[in-house]
Chain A
Amino acid sequence: MLPVYLDHSATTPVAPEVLEAMLPFFDRAFGNPSAIYAIGQEAREAIERAREQVAHLVNADADDVYFTSGGTESDNWAIKGVARAWRDRKNHLITTPIEHHAVLEACSALREQGWEITFVPVDSTGMVDPDEVRRAITPRTGLITIMHANNEVGTIEPIAEIGAIAREHGIPFHTDAVQTVGKIPVDVQALGVDMLSISAHKLYGPKGVGALVVRRGTPLRPLLDGGGQERGRRGGTYNVPGIVGLGAAAERAMRCGVEEMERVRALRDRLVEGILQAVPDAVLTGHPVNRLPNNAHLAFAGVEGESLVLSLDAVGIYCSAGAACSSGDTEPSHVLVAMGIDPHLIEGSVRFTLGKDNTPEQIEYTIQQVVRAVNKLRSLRVSG
């Protein structure tokens, strides 16, 4: 049963069938896809197959899928690339205070170049109000970037509504879908997004590869300049095994994602219910319904989240006190602050993110251990 890994929003292991698909491209078909000879061609065909697999998963055109080194590059590219395409014609963008740092810091980089940034607020569940987005639009608005689902609290944003507003005003709309692709249905047509970031290692694919889906006609300049790869839009020799792995992970998600997530959702619901029943002064943070099926973000009054994470670590349960990318930060989570969560609760928050291999036994064990650890930490605090 041990270890119990409950940090799937940080990263996931590569699924066996994904690894299987990648293996031939390490050695046998290692050629540089840009070459004209046969072993290069095999790699090229594999890349095009992966492009279709990814496109299929998000209902995009294969030609609109561009491979990158991961979610961070995709986010950086979308934001900086659109700004560059606008040059001086637009200089305002709309985002939220709860975005991933890859988006927030890319926006900050634009601010240095004279862009103005509007952060539309979120409510206490982490939800953006599309009307706020509409009100923030000005004639200088050149980009809207709002994440599909938050990586800490799991709240799913009303992207389709925002997409319709963006389209109405002809403003390029980017969404960071790193946390949703593979977990809930993602349809770029239905969402009305122009750009969508994907990361392979969040959906049982390899690290070091991702994609940016770009609707034709979106003003976007390259971020990485070099050879003519990706139709001149992203330089760099193709990471062939990585790309094949992303394709296989997309196909896997297409095949069993929904079923898998229903099972995960039931486990998650049991985890939340089990903990909330047994632990007083604990709350589920984020949206009660519109949330990622695998996310349980809980706040415990009178407990340090970090201490709880370490106590659970000691009994073989691995979760996190926030996003992995900011682990070690002493700053309170920018997401929880933006949601207006009570600072004492912020301090005591822990994120459990479930995955396909978690079992009911693991969940029962986790409930039991969380109850034990919270009680212990609280008693220490009282007596100390």
Chain B
Amino acid sequence: MREIYLDHSATTPIAPEVQTAMLEAMREAWGNPSSMHLFGRRARDLIDESRVTIARALGCLDAEVFFTSGGTESDNMAIFGAARVAPAHRRHIVTTTIEHHAVLHACQRLQEDGWEVTYLPVDPYGMVDPDDVRRAIREDTWLVSVMHANNEIGTLQPIREIAQICRERGVWLHCDAVQTFGLLEVKVDELGVDMLSVSAHKLYGPKGIGALYLRGGVKIAPLLVGGAQERELRAGTENVPGIVGFARAVELCEQLGHEQARHIWYLRERLRQQLQECLPDMQVNGHPIQCLPGILSVTFPGVSAESLLIALDQRGIAASAGAACSAGSIEPSHVLLALGMDESRAMSTIRLSLGRGNTPEEIDIAVEIIAEEVKRLQRRAVASAPVQGI
């Protein structure tokens, strides 16, 4: 059976070049980068080079890049770190209802400590209205956190406009760019953000490594303390092979440039159009244009997403309902509910996320299988529905 991986928003495979670079780092530069001797210096050099690569991609200074254990830590570090340095009279955060749980749960934890949090609504496409941000910012607002693109439906947020507002009001803006970095151009100055989270394993790099961009002058408190690493903002022996792999993965994305996104968008459109033809009652979620090239969130009325995913898995197609992080939960996605979708439709929604390794041929096979399984499940749903009106 042919395996077709359509869950690139959950994670991506490591690119062969990335693996090679990591193995070399493990063999040749395995010292502790804090050691003063040769073994340490070799490792330190690799970290420095990697930081430059990532800074270049983000369009920032290398001193503004801080390595973390991944997107979740970056989000937590930004929010908790900013909160820790807030003056007592500014304990209000503005965020959205569709953020990743790494942001939402961090905000909820701050609420336990007496912070106030405004969760902005989104329109039916999943888009935040910058005017809502403007209205939500108060005298006591300390931080705004809005994701660059949503991980379930792919909608891109108007970060530039939001950043403009934050700047006018003197409020820090954090942006979770885990889904966009590597795929779209993410330049911190163009976006105008103060903090930005990125993760390596979403861009064909290794798991367990990410980074937080902190604009020069944005001084937050560390989350992990106990060592002078990362200019005293993130303690812990550096994950050298992870950092090297991250940088190599970013380099590869840069080399592929727009071609990568174009290829993925082409496949996504091919998938969407063909599915639409076979399954006219399918609903596509998210913004039609302001969206990630690779995410296709679709609702099949009357079909249980869970049953569909299991059926697809048995036929070699890997996809997911909502975010992988909550794949184990049977709760409807908070993102889909925020779009105004009812629970039953939310529970009939799956996410197909494409990557650079997918081929048109795979898409055609996937369409065939998805259409078959959806129709089978719809027939079953009709057959088992209670007879009404007698």
What's the Cα separation between A351 and B387 when bound, in Å? Answer: 80
| In the complex with contacts A32-B11, A34-B328, A227-B72, A239-B105 CB distance below 8 A | no
Say yes or no: B318 contacts A38, CB within 8 Å.
yes
Query: How far does the Cβ of B352 sit from chain A's closest Cβ, in whole Å?
Result: 12
What's the Cα separation between A75 and B225 when bound, in Å? Answer: 9
Name the contact of B34 in the complex, choosing from A201, A226, A318, A324 (C-beta under 8 A).
A324
Name the contact of A39 in the complex, choosing from B76, B240, B318 (C-beta under 8 A).
B318
What's the Cα separation between A240 and B238 when bound, in Å? Answer: 17
Chain B residues in 8 Å Cβ range of A26: 13-14, 19, 22, 206
Query: How far does the Cβ of A40 sit from chain B's closest Cβ, in whole Å?
Result: 7
Say yes or no: A19 contacts B237, CB within 8 Å.
no
| In the complex with contacts A11-B31, A35-B320, A309-B239 CB distance below 8 A | no
Which of B36, B306, B310, B328 has the largest number of chain A CB atoms within 10 A? B36
Query: How far does the Cβ of B321 sit from chain A's closest Cβ, in whole Å?
Result: 8
Interface residues of B in 345-389 (CB under 8 A from A): none
Say yes or no: A19 contacts B26, CB within 8 Å.
yes
Is B123 an interface residue when CB atoms closer than 8 A count as contact? no
Say yes or no: A235 contacts B102, CB within 8 Å.
yes
Query: How far does the Cβ of B260 sit from chain A's closest Cβ, in whole Å?
Result: 18
Closest to A326 in B: B228
Say yes or no: B325 contacts A208, CB within 8 Å.
no
Is A101 an interface residue when CB atoms closer than 8 A count as contact? yes
Chain A residues in 8 Å Cβ range of B276: none
Interface residues of A in 189-220 (CB under 8 A from B): 199, 201, 206-209
Is B233 an interface residue when CB atoms closer than 8 A count as contact? no
Interface residues of A in 255-308 (CB under 8 A from B): 306
Interface residues of A in 1-52 (CB under 8 A from B): 3, 5, 7, 10-14, 19, 26-27, 30-32, 34-40
Interface residues of B in 76-134 (CB under 8 A from A): 76, 100-102, 105-106, 108-109
Complex interface: stretch among B2-10, B182-190, B284-292:
B2-10
Say yes or no: B236 contacts A27, CB within 8 Å.
no
Complex interface: stretch among A54-62, A102-110, A117-125, A155-163:
A102-110
Closest to B227 in A: A325
Closest to A199 in B: B237
Say yes or no: A207 contacts B73, CB within 8 Å.
no
Is A69 an interface residue when CB atoms closer than 8 A count as contact? yes
What's the Cα separation between A5 and B29 when bound, in Å? Answer: 13
Say yes or no: A226 contacts B11, CB within 8 Å.
no
Is B207 an interface residue when CB atoms closer than 8 A count as contact? yes
Is B180 an interface residue when CB atoms closer than 8 A count as contact? no
Say yes or no: A327 contacts B36, CB within 8 Å.
yes
Say yes or no: B3 contacts A39, CB within 8 Å.
yes
Say yes or no: A228 contacts B329, CB within 8 Å.
yes
Closest to B33 in A: A324
Chain B 6-43 per-residue mask, 1 if CB under 8 angstroms from chain A, else 0: 01001111101001001100100011101111111000
What's the Cα separation between A321 and B106 when bound, in Å? Answer: 40
Chain B residues in 8 Å Cβ range of A225: 72, 76, 101-102, 105-106, 108-109
Name the contact of B237 in the complex, choosing from A70, A104, A237 (C-beta under 8 A).
A70
Chain A residues in 8 Å Cβ range of B328: 34, 36, 228
What's the Cα separation between A199 and B70 when bound, in Å? Answer: 17
Say yes or no: B240 contacts A226, CB within 8 Å.
no
Say yes or no: B235 contacts A69, CB within 8 Å.
no
Closest to A19 in B: B26
Is B242 an interface residue when CB atoms closer than 8 A count as contact? yes
What's the Cα separation between A105 and B317 when bound, in Å? Answer: 47
Is B194 an interface residue when CB atoms closer than 8 A count as contact? no
Closest to A313 in B: B37
Is B241 an interface residue when CB atoms closer than 8 A count as contact? yes
Chain A residues in 8 Å Cβ range of B199: 237
Say yes or no: A106 contacts B226, CB within 8 Å.
yes
Say yes or no: B236 contacts A73, CB within 8 Å.
yes
Chain A residues in 8 Å Cβ range of B238: 207
Is A148 an interface residue when CB atoms closer than 8 A count as contact? no
Is B175 an interface residue when CB atoms closer than 8 A count as contact? no
Query: How far does the Cβ of B46 sit from chain A's closest Cβ, in whole Å?
Result: 12
Say yes or no: A228 contacts B325, CB within 8 Å.
yes
Say yes or no: B208 contacts A325, CB within 8 Å.
no
Is B75 an interface residue when CB atoms closer than 8 A count as contact? yes
Chain B residues in 8 Å Cβ range of A14: 26, 30
Is A384 an interface residue when CB atoms closer than 8 A count as contact? no
Is A72 an interface residue when CB atoms closer than 8 A count as contact? yes
Chain A residues in 8 Å Cβ range of B38: 3, 313, 318
Chain B residues in 8 Å Cβ range of A238: 207
Say yes or no: A72 contacts B224, CB within 8 Å.
yes
Is A223 an interface residue when CB atoms closer than 8 A count as contact? yes
Closest to B105 in A: A225
18 contacts between A and B (CB under 8 A): A35-B324, A36-B327, A37-B319, A38-B3, A39-B5, A76-B224, A199-B237, A224-B73, A225-B72, A226-B101, A227-B324, A228-B329, A235-B325, A236-B70, A237-B71, A313-B36, A327-B35, A328-B228
Footprint of B on A, CB under 8 Å? 3, 5, 7, 10-14, 19, 26-27, 30-32, 34-40, 69-73, 75-76, 100-106, 108-109, 199, 201, 206-209, 223-229, 235-242, 306, 309-310, 313, 318-321, 324-329
Footprint of A on B, CB under 8 Å? 3, 5, 7, 10-14, 16, 19, 22-23, 26, 30-32, 34-40, 69-73, 75-76, 100-102, 105-106, 108-109, 199, 201, 206-209, 223-229, 235-242, 306, 309-310, 312-313, 317-320, 323-329
Give 6 new A-B contacts, CB below 8 A, not counting A73-B236, A228-B325.
A26-B22, A37-B309, A37-B313, A72-B236, A239-B242, A325-B228
